[in-house]
Amino acid sequence: MLGQKSSYAQTRDAFHWDIPQHYNIGVDICDRHAAESADAIAIIDVAEDGSTRHCSFEALRQSSNRLANALGRLSVKGDRIGVLLPQSIETAQAHVAITKSARISLPLFTLFGPDALLHRLRDSGASVVITNADGVAKIAQIRADLPDLHHIICVDPAPPPTLDFARLCAAESPEFAFTPTLAEDPAILIYTSGTTGNPKGALHAHRVLLGHLPGVEMSHDFFPQAGDRIWTPADWAWIGGLLDVMMPALHHGVTVVACRFRKFSAQAAFDLMRAQKIRNAFLPPTALKMMRLWPEAEDQRLDLRSVASGGETLGKELIAWGQRVFGCTINEFYGQTECNMIVSSCAALEPAEPGVMGFAVPGHTLAILDEAAGTQAEPGAEGSIAVLAPDPVMFLRYWNNPEATAEKFLSVGDQRWLLTGDKGRVTPSGRIAFIGRDDDVISSSGYRIGPAEIEDCLLTHPAVHLAGVVGKPDPVRGAVVAAYIQLSQGFTPSPALADEIALHVKDKLAAYEFPRVVRFIDEMPATTTGKIIRAQLRLMAQEEADNEQQ
């Protein structure tokens, strides 16, 4: 654990990693606590109607053991097992069972459409998917294109050949013959969006959870403390929900509240946090902005001890609002799927510096690099945010993509650095300030969205000849997806056609990826080799946003 000292510098200097040779995520976050305090509550699952189910660590141990035994009959060690479920007891059970049985967990977002699922399942070669009735229906549309997928397990009643989750587990023993795994063994495969090609799978080792702990502890003002109970609206399919909240909390024996609204609302979030006595929350910037816009927000009375947020820089006014409403300072953190929770502010150590991400989390060495010169940038100068390798939180490699893995790293002298793809600088206080993205990934509502996948989807619509996708600045979401379309011959621009094209993407990919802005242009800006010049499209989107604010 991260020990609190009187300053950030002393806290950093006193920290050291203790990564054992053998380590297993599932055993750590479940079995260890079941042995120490069997009745302690691991998960409180809150349904839409407010009803709850409680799952103790011992119940989680037995249920995950049953599922692990079932997976032993359906797959082999090293197989990728998809988890296409919302926040729930069953989702936690699945991740524990998969990692405990030396399989690789593949988190999948429930809002993914068939095309998005097809790429991830086919690229990963997943052999089993654990899902619900909605997921079964989506996978049925693409099953013929997934030769490696042998079994679908459904938590809802479903006809054969789909396997019934409850019946499958009931037939197995609540004890599991665990074989120790190495800390370096693969455990989790999470797909992340990029600017070129399809999303890439970031493969993480079991040690990734241990690597997350200092950042989680720092962003929650030295988590855990007596009485802590944590919740996030972020889906557990993303690294922010899975490895910033659910798994670290269970590692520390802290109860996790599972509840992801079908549609987020400020009132529902406040009501849930009050009803469930939430003490710690990870609230993405978009959620915070929506909560701030609610007229009754400042009349709410909560008992929060810590609030963390990440995904985009928070401004002075939002931090001040959080102090009034939550009674604590929102701690901002930074990272990405390949190397997460590496920068954080911590109000328990130092006052927040609005507009600045925070300090390098103890245990992680960061630098601002001048890539062209192959050296570290001068103090205060802009450069590429980089993390020194090796690092416990750093991914092993991209799945089936050695070229992309090699491009992610830069050697400077005898040191090897992971390039985040973002620009930053070091402030006089020693914090790291985020300047901008070095690629075209769109940050919207806490999601990192790659334009290439959306552009590919747009091109499958008969009216679309060329498509360019960028982020348009938005006061609530940070940015919204904006699609610039050059129409095929025979089609005429119209609001109805714009809506049709946007819905085409929403149905094929995911609800958060569809273009909220569709603009028709006569000619797509492109280089002589045909590459879309997104910088020009971003200027158009920025001008439109500026005009709307006038």
In the predicted model, is pLDDT for residue 334 greater than 80?
yes
Q: What is the pLDDT of residues 155-191, one digit of tens each?
A: 999 889 999 999 999 999 999 999 999 999 999 999 9
The Cα 281–Cα 417 span in angstroms is 32
User: pLDDT category, 283, cuts 50, 70, 90?
Assistant: very high
List, in sequence order, every beta strand (DSSP E) within 223-347. Answer: 229-231, 255-258, 280-282, 306-310, 330-336, 339-344
Q: Which of 295-299, 508-512, 536-540 has the lowest mean pLDDT?
A: 508-512
Report how far residue 305's alpha carbon sits from residue 330's, in angstroms, rounded to the nearest whole number.
Answer: 10
**More confidently predicted of 196 and 378:** 378
Residue-level pLDDT at 530:
57
pLDDT greater than 70 at residue 227: yes
- The pLDDT, as a whole number, for residue 435 is 80
pLDDT above 80 for 456: no
Residue-level pLDDT at 289 = 84
Closest CA to 470 of 440, 494, 498: 440
- Residues with Cβ within 8 Å of residue 117, at least 6 apart in sequence: 84, 108, 138, 139, 142
Strand partners, 447: 444
31-87 pLDDT, tens digit per residue, is: 999 999 989 999 999 998 899 999 999 999 999 999 999 999 999 999 999 999 999
Strand partners, 163: 153
- Residue 85: which residues within 8 A CB-CB, separation 6 or more? 91, 94, 110, 130, 131, 132, 135, 155
Q: How far apart are CA 149 and CA 173, in angstroms?
A: 25
What residue spans of 81-164 are helical by DSSP H?
Answer: 89-100, 114-124, 133-140
What is the model's pLDDT at position 438?
A: 66
In the structure, what pLDDT confidence band is assigned to residue 196 with cuts at 50, 70 and 90?
very low
Tell me the DSSP string of 164-231: EHHHHHHTS-S-------BTTSEEEEEEE--SSSSPEEEEEETTHHHHHHHHHHHHTTSS--TT-EEE
Determine the pLDDT at residue 193: 62
Residue spans of the domains in the chain: they are: 19-206, 442-549
Check whether 529 has a pLDDT greater than 70. no
Judged against a pLDDT cut of 90, whether residue 534 lies above it is answered with: no
Confidence of residue 197 (pLDDT cuts 50, 70, 90): low
- The pLDDT of residue 388: 98
Confidence of residue 331 (pLDDT cuts 50, 70, 90): very high
Q: Residue 198 — pLDDT band, cuts 50, 70, 90?
A: confident
**339 within 8 A of 391, measured Cβ to Cβ:** yes
Residue 262 pLDDT more than 90? no
> For the segment 231-259, what is each residue's pLDDT rounded down to a tens digit?
999 999 999 999 999 999 999 999 999 99
Q: Which of 347-351, 416-420, 447-451 is predicted with the least confidence, judged by mean pLDDT?
A: 447-451
CATH, domain range 19-206 = 3.40.50.12780
Hey, is 361 helix, strand or coil? Answer: coil
Report residue 458 as tokens. 């747009």
Alpha helices (H) in 428-494, listed in sequence order:
451-458
Architecture of the domain whose range is 442-549? 2-Layer Sandwich (3.30)
Query: What's the pLDDT band for 531 if we cut at 50, 70, 90?
Result: low
pLDDT per residue as tens digits for the range 98-142: 999 999 999 999 989 999 999 999 999 999 999 999 999 999 999
Beta bridge partners of 310: 333
Helices and strands in the chain: count of H runs, count of E runs: 18, 28
Q: At residue 486, does pLDDT exceed 90? A: yes
> Which residues are CB-contacts of 519 (< 8 A; sequence separation ≥ 6)?
482, 483, 484, 485, 498, 540, 544
How far apart are alpha carbons 367 and 376 in whole angstroms? 7
AA identity, residue 34? A
CA distance readout (Å), 217 to 160, 207, 224, 345, 432:
45, 16, 7, 11, 19
pLDDT at 355: 79
Enclosing H/E stretch for 447: strand 447-449
Q: What is the mean pLDDT of residues 310-328?
A: 88
